[in-house]
């Protein structure tokens, strides 16, 4: 499809559908969601010239996975956002089946995108790693491919995350080798144009892992405290009793990267989010040195196409932005401090859980210490149970109707819960773990607590963010 025709169809889809999407009662009040169509992975997350930029995988033409565009927002404060010109559209031969995920860097004062051009053909598929640079008009000019498919790998090589270390650019790439095993590749470049493969730094059958998935997507490697953290999404992990229960997983390793040798010595894999919907997170460093994360509140090939928002012409949201820290040998996640701007109408309640009034959770934050067993019902649809083993989150599967559970095992001492019109994010023990979930309540959803645990509970209504 040629570019003028594709852009005309995109404009038509947005103009025809945005009013219907905006009228959906499940439309988020402060989470980011596509104006129309399907959104998935966050891309190109960066703070550049004192503004945050966040791109996203987007199919504006349908609530379906197809040839992906990159939409583009920017923000001064991670709370209020504005639409920027479309970043990428799949119009070139080297990206004919989608501008797949990637990252953004500041290349000598020029905002530069590094992304995967996906090409499918009758006998299979291939992938190109490509560049695009921001021009003075606020649009991205494509420079084309800079890295072809490396030898020894299938066409599933994608999702470049690029950063600067000393005098070089470095890239991690998700990959599948010729034995159909998931890997993460490390590459080095002096100029973003010419890349040298340093080797496989992690993957199925490496670093003490046995078989560990057939494809590793969305790698992200960064230094935090004294650790090199590798965030990655392995596909093909077998479900266990209390973990790996989503269709595909997202998690992290911690360790030490030897840049010269192209070797990463790491520990065990830990899930990043223990809820129902979380995938493809991407991080960036803020100007003051914080490491921030945003994820897609969805999972591919799960029951996504049974979500009722499809009837309004849109599907999926991002998570809230999260701050990362390394504490006691674990990766902690907490809501970005900027989100406190949304708080209003503060209220405090004290007493036995069952004695507390029902709380409005259409758009709210709830914070309380935990000192015993209790249960919480989110609009009668999503159930949270806390006991000595940890937390269990329960709902009915939207496709099958069967009851399904997600778990976090450990001692719960504190919960911070962020609610929007169709999502819940539960931060455990000041960020030791998180459980995220989409849910679709009726009007005026309420939180009802049960149990004998004594709670000192803080509740805030959260204001609507501004998206211009």
- d(C-alpha 346, C-alpha 305), whole Å: 37
CA–CA distances in Å: residue 118 to residues 55, 146, 183: 17, 14, 18
Task: Write down the residue that tokens 């849109």 correspond to.
Answer: 314
User: Could you confirm whether 41 is annotated as catalytic?
Assistant: yes
Contact 208, 214 (CB under 8 A): no
User: Which of the residues 24, 41, 220, 273 is marked catalytic?
Assistant: 41
Contact 458, 368 (CB under 8 A): yes
Q: Where are the strands (E) in 166-311, listed by range?
A: 168-177, 182-189, 196-203, 215-224, 227-235, 251-258, 263-266, 270-271, 279-285, 291-296
- d(C-alpha 128, C-alpha 109), whole Å: 25
CB atoms within 10 A of CB 296: 26
Please list the alpha-helical segments (H only) found in 36-99.
Answer: none
Output the DSSP codes for 322-374: EEEEEETTEEEEEE-GGGGGGEEEEEEEEEEGGGSPPEE-SSEEEEEE--S-E
Task: Judge residue 63's burial from the number of C-beta atoms within 10 Å of its C-beta, 0-12 exposed, 13-18 middle, 19 or more buried.
Answer: buried
CB atoms within 10 A of CB 147: 23
- d(C-alpha 73, C-alpha 287), whole Å: 18
Closest of 281, 216, 241 to residue 405, by C-alpha: 241
Task: Write down the residue that tokens 């590094």 correspond to.
Answer: 114
In Å, how far from its chain's centre is CA 393?
20
Please list the alpha-helical segments (H only) found in 94-239.
Answer: none
Q: Give the three-class secondary structure for 206.
A: coil
Closest of 324, 295, 329 to residue 227, by C-alpha: 329
State the DSSP H helix or E strand holding residue 316, giving kind and residue range, or none if neither: none
- Indicate the pairing of strand 279-285 with strand 51-59: unpaired
Q: Which residues pair with 121 in a beta bridge?
A: 124
- As annotated, the active-site residues are 41
């Amino acid at each position: 499809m040629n570019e003028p025709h594709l852009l005309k169809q995109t404009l038509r889809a947005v103009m025809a559908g945005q009013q219907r999407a905006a009228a959906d009662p499940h439309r988020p009040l402060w989470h980011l969601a596509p104006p129309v169509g399907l959104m998935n992975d966050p891309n190109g997350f960066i703070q550049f010239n004192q503004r945050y930029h966040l791109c996203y995988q987007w199919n504006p033409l349908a609530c379906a996975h197809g040839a992906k565009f990159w939409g583009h927002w920017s923000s001064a404060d991670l709370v209020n956002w504005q639409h920027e010109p479309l970043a990428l559209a799949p119009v070139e031969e080297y990206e004919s089946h989608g501008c797949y995920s990637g990252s953004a860097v500041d290349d000598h004062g020029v905002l530069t995108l590094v992304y995967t051009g996906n090409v499918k053909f009758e006998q299979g598929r291939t992938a190109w790693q490509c560049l695009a640079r921001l021009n003075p008009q606020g649009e991205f000019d494509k420079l084309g491919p800079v890295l072809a498919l490396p030898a020894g790998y299938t066409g599933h090589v994608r999702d470049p995350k690029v950063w600067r270390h000393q005098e070089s650019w470095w890239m991690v790439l998700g990959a599948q080798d010729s034995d159909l095993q998931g890997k993460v590749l490390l590459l080095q470049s002096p100029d973003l144009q010419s890349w040298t493969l340093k080797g496989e730094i992690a993957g199925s059958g490496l670093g003490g892992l046995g078989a560990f998935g057939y494809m590793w997507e969305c790698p992200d490697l960064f230094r935090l405290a004294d650790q090199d953290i590798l965030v990655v999404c392995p596909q093909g992990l077998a479900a266990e009793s209390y973990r790996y229960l989503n269709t595909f997983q997202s998690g992290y390793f911690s360790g030490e990267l030897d840049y010269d040798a192209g070797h990463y010595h790491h520990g065990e894999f830990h899930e990043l989010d223990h809820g129902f919907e979380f995938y493809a997170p991407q991080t960036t460093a803020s100007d003051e040195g914080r490491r921030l994360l945003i994820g897609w509140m969805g999972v591919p090939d799960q029951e996504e196409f049974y979500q009722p928002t499809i009837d309004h012409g849109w599907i999926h949201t991002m998570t809230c932005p999260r701050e990362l820290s390394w504490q006691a040998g674990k990766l902690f996640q907490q809501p970005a401090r900027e989100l406190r701007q949304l708080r209003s109408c503060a209220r405090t309640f004290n007493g036995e859980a069952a004695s507390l009034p029902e709380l409005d959770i259409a758009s709210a934050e709830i914070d309380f210490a935990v000192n015993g067993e209790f249960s919480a019902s989110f609009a009668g649809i999503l159930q949270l149970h806390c006991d000595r083993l940890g937390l269990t989150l329960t709902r009915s599967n939207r496709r099958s109707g069967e009851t399904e559970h997600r778990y976090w095992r450990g001692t719960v001492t504190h919960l911070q819960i962020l609610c929007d019109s169709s999502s819940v994010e539960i931060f455990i023990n000041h960020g030791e773990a998180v459980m995220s979930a989409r849910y679709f309540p009726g009007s005026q959803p309420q939180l009802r607590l049960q149990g004998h645990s004594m709670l000192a509970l803080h509740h805030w209504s959260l204001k609507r963010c501004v998206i211009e």
